[in-house]
Amino acid sequence: MKAVFVVNPAARGGRALSRWKAFRKTLTFPFRELMTKGPGHAKAIARGFAAGGEKEKVLLIAFGGDGTVHEILAGAAGADHVIVGSVSAGSGNDFGRGYRSFRTAEEIVAYLGGRTAPPSLDLGMVNFGDGFIFVNSSGIGFDAEISRGTGRSAFKPLLNRTGLGKLVYALYTVRALCAFRTFSLEVTADGKQMDYHDVWFATVSNQPYFGGGMKISPESDPADGLIELTVVSRLSRVKLLLVFGSVFFGAHTVFREVDSRKGRQFSLKADREVPLHTDGEDAGDTQPGRPVVFSVRPGAWRLAGQQRTGRSGI
């Protein structure tokens, strides 16, 4: 199997590049290094390998954050000969929490020399615009507003370089907490319709973590052919903060204002324009009264290494 590193030098405010330079020196096996030049490039690289129909299997290792893994899967999903791995070198790194990621060169050597069949895992699909995928989560509302704010923040690269990236997230959480207007939501799941009012956010998860370590969907398992919807509604701003804090431990599900359910497809229709994110990246605004459909494509991609969380124990 040939190993290809897709390195995002801009991840973690540019700190990923110096990390890569140090990591590269520890590699004792043949590899290719492809540096991404900007948004969309990792997807194009992965698509090239997927379309190549290579006889030999390819291990594509994302050296970056969740945005880099997201792009690689957007390009490589469905190609059986492409196996996706990662070295967490971004700011949030939820992929590394929910799935297996490589920490050292030795772990990659052991993987390349081993005989473990890569598990086939589920991929989330979002029927919005030209279509999106998600490997971690996708959702609308308050959390997408925070993703948008932090993504656009002029301070993010600087604070990431100084190791204070989490501060940007905290600042935009407070800002969104003050400014965000809740919305009404109609959910259709497996033929059943549910109405929610005063909604802060609705997130659809493929694995437990989002937002840089928050265990939003403790029951999620990317190998079960299902996705999980979490709707948070009818909360005061103060209680929302409390719930947000408890999400780090996955303890928020005890609050009656948090509704969670499993399914294969969720159609979400908000009564006003609401921001949407896919894997923590801004994906635009939903249109009032127009449903966004979240679904799952079972076993659509192959993970290098064992899955870290979930109940299937693969």
What residues make contact with ligand ATP under the rule CB under 6 A? 8-12, 36-39, 41, 64-68, 71, 90-93, 280-281
State the minimum distance, in angstroms, from the CB of residue 33 to ligand ATP. 14
Pairing of strands 82-88, 209-210: unpaired
State the minimum distance, in angstroms, from the CB of residue 101 to ligand ATP. 11
State the minimum distance, in angstroms, from the CB of residue 20 to ligand ATP. 12
First-last CA distance in the chain: 22
| Residue number with CB closer to ligand ATP (16 or 231) | 16
| Residue number with CB closer to ligand ATP (98 or 263) | 98
Closest C-alpha among 305, 121, 307, 95 to residue 225? 121
Closest C-alpha among 125, 123, 173 to residue 146? 173
State the minimum distance, in angstroms, from the CB of residue 41 to ligand ATP. 6
Helix locations, 2-141, DSSP H: 15-24, 41-51, 66-76, 94-98, 105-113
Instruction: Render 158-184 in DSSP notation, one character per residue.
Output: HHHHTT-HHHHHHHHHHHHHHHPPPEE
State the minimum distance, in angstroms, from the CB of residue 50 to ligand ATP. 18
| Residue number with CB closer to ligand ATP (150 or 265) | 150
Q: Among all residues, whose Cβ is closest to ligand ATP?
A: 65
State the minimum distance, in angstroms, from the CB of residue 14 to ligand ATP. 9
Helices (H) then strands (E): counts for the chain: 9, 17
State the minimum distance, in angstroms, from the CB of residue 65 to ligand ATP. 2
Could you give the CA distance from residue 137 to residue 129 in angstroms, rounded to a whole number? 17
What 48-53 contacts at long range (C-beta under 8 Å, 24+ apart), as own/partner pairs, is 48/75, 49/4, 49/75, 49/76, 49/79, 49/82, 50/75, 50/76, 50/77, 50/78, 50/79, 50/82, 51/79, 53/81
The torsion angles phi and psi of 269, rounded to 5 degrees, stand at -125, 115
| Residue number with CB closer to ligand ATP (61 or 199) | 61
| Residue number with CB closer to ligand ATP (39 or 129) | 39
| Residue number with CB closer to ligand ATP (8 or 137) | 8
| Residue number with CB closer to ligand ATP (36 or 265) | 36
